[in-house]
Amino acid sequence: MPAVETLGSTSAINSDKTGTLTMNQMTVKTISTVQHRYTVSGEGYSFEGKIQRIEGEPEENFDHVLFPCALCIDTDIRDGEVVGDPTEAALYVLAEKGGINVEEFRKNNPRIASIPFDSDYKFMATFHSLKTSTGEEVIRAYIKGAPDVILNRSRYGSMPDGTIKELNDVDRKKVEDENERIASQGLRVLALAQKDFDPKSFNPEDDLMMLMHDLTMTALIGEVDPPRREAKEAIRKAKNAGVRVRMITGDHAVTAKAIARELGIDGDEITGEEFAALSDEEAEKVIEDIGVIARVAPEHKVRLVKVLKNKGNIVAMTGDGVNDAPSIKAADIGIAMGITGTDVAKGAAKMILVDDNFATIVKAIEEGRKIYDNLQKFLRIQIANMFMFIVAFLGASIFSVIGTALYSPGQVLWIHMLVVAPIGVMFGLDIASPGIMTRKPRKIDESILSRGMYIRLFVAGLFMALTSLFIYHIGNTTYGSLQVGQTMGLVTISLMNIFLALNQRFPYDSSFQKATFNNTRLLYAYLWVIFGTFLITETRLFHQLMGTVSLDASQWGVCLIPGISLLFIGEIYKAILRYKNNE
């Protein structure tokens, strides 16, 4: 229940891009080298497709692009299913489309050392024993990673004829511009690089990170990860519900911005480093204008959660990796991925997405709001009846309306267990109220029932008590029978509960709408109350059990008047509230 309550109050969602907002089904669409551009056809993880040159003269050798795609990955594709990371799977497919049998190629060029990918340094490197085109044996490192990181570590560039050129400022600017161009299309950009080492001096046991400088940059790869169709609608729905969605990603800011605009995420983009450079006061001041945080590190996510919480938000945070656990734990509602999430992330979370789909988060928020709203419905009808019985018994005692007990224990139990309880249970299982996802998030410290609502319920209970006492008195005096008065009072309370439920199911919206009749189970509860009331008044068995008598049509009509009056008084009051809110 605490998690459900939190979901209903969520006002900010910080969502990972890959796999949550997008399909996490990467496909290479473009390749750029120093003087060439290529497009890649085909979809998904099928090996069907072609690499076609669209700019530049033919290159003498394309191995510097295909070899790292086959070797600098930890992913396999078996029978069309990806075992590993989808980003690497796209490179695997690219190598196959380029004519490399990846599985056999790996066997013939075994890995002798590696630097695994880490979000801190944003690249991966593998080391292999190879022969150059001249037959010379070398240890070659293949590196893939974020373009800005690879470019900063690179000193050289691979030329079309296979020669190596030292990069100058103009060359670096061209690489940066090309990165921006690809990223602006909403593609994730990876940079490829390599470096050769003398087999005699290379030691796999050395600190390999110290060797990652003076690299030779070879290509930029653009991968598309299609946004989930349902994510755009879910973001729109969250926006209408007053929930601000922000996208956090390790991608380049330009890529992130393009995808965010496609998904409908509002706000400016900022990098994790820029966000970290802001003071707490500056961060709180600009956070409402930020919709995308790119090149994000785990510590940036934690700070984002803290900034939003300091601004009074109830924050939901998604994540899947071990490094995401601190931010998931720091959030009010931590959300782990059920498919790609690690056990550490799942352990830190309060909610696990079994389908890794952002739309499920919004559905969960709606479900949380619905459950909380239904709990309020249940409490409203219970509390109104509690006030009614308190006032009715006190009134009967104080004013001596009758000379015996107002209602027998059996009659009181009938009202509680077979009138109020069925309606209350159906309220607890009610479908979502219309417009529940257009309301602003509820404040977490807000009482489950407001003071104003308690007053309304007391007034409703008071009305029910006084009218039932009055009907009781009419039956006793007009028809000269205590049993007739008691039966009429009992029928009046039973029928009034139906009208009370009609009025309090939507405490601010009119009951005269189609939604009033959209819950079949609730309608059955109303019919049961009518049928049950008929049973206790018109059958001999229940006459003996409940101490009731039969009523004629006019008596039934008198019992119906208070309920109708209660409904119309309640509707007039709701209309006044709506009018004041619209002023």
In the prediction, which pLDDT does 405 show? 58
Determine the average pLDDT of the residues in 233-260. Answer: 91
**Sequence-ordered list of residues with C-beta below 8 angstroms from that of 136, at least 6 positions apart, any chain:** none
Determine the average pLDDT of the residues in 350-359. Answer: 90
- With a cut of 70, say whether residue 310 has pLDDT above it: yes
Give CA–CA dist 112/199, Å, rounded.
Answer: 11
Q: Is 317 helix (H, G, I), strand (E, B) or coil?
A: strand
User: What are the pLDDT digits (tens) for 369-398?
Assistant: 999 999 999 999 999 999 999 988 887 776
Q: Are the CB atoms for 496 and 562 separated by under 8 Å?
A: yes
- With a cut of 80, say whether residue 442 has pLDDT above it: yes
Domains and CATH numbers, the chain: 10-20+228-356 (3.40.50.1000), 25-224 (3.40.1110.10), 363-582 (1.20.1110.10)
- 145's tokens: 């990673």
Give CA–CA dist 58/63, Å, rounded.
Answer: 13
- With a cut of 70, say whether residue 86 has pLDDT above it: yes
Determine the average pLDDT of the residues in 430-459. Answer: 90
Determine the average pLDDT of the residues in 188-211. Answer: 93
> Which has the minimum average pLDDT: 1-10, 116-125, 244-253?
1-10
Placement of tokens 């830190």 in the chain = 348
Determine the average pLDDT of the residues in 64-90. Answer: 91
In the prediction, which pLDDT does 402 show? 52
- With a cut of 60, say whether residue 403 has pLDDT above it: no
- 373's tokens: 């709203």
pLDDT band, residue 401 (cuts 50/70/90) = low
Rounded to 5 degrees, φ, ψ at 458 are -65, -40
Q: Which residues are catalytic?
A: 16
Start-to-end Cα distance in the chain: 36
Give CA–CA dist 564/502, Å, rounded.
Answer: 10
- Average pLDDT over the chain, rounded to whole? 90
Determine the average pLDDT of the residues in 155-169. Answer: 86
Determine the average pLDDT of the residues in 322-345. Answer: 91
In the prediction, which pLDDT does 120 show? 84
Give CA–CA dist 332/9, Å, rounded.
Answer: 10
User: What are the pLDDT digits (tens) for 19-63?
Assistant: 889 888 889 999 998 878 899 998 888 899 999 888 877 665 788
CB atoms within 10 A of CB 123: 20
User: What are the pLDDT digits (tens) for 260-309?
Assistant: 998 999 999 999 999 999 999 999 999 999 999 998 988 999 999 999 99
Which among 72, 92, 82 has a CA at the least distance from the CA of 28? 92
- With a cut of 70, say whether residue 475 has pLDDT above it: yes
In the prediction, which pLDDT does 407 show? 80
In the prediction, which pLDDT does 505 show? 94
Q: How many residues does this entry show for the chain?
A: 583
Q: How far is CA 41 from CA 27, 93, 98, in A?
A: 9, 11, 11
Q: How far is CA 3 from CA 73, 344, 372, 405, 407, in A?
A: 39, 19, 11, 46, 42
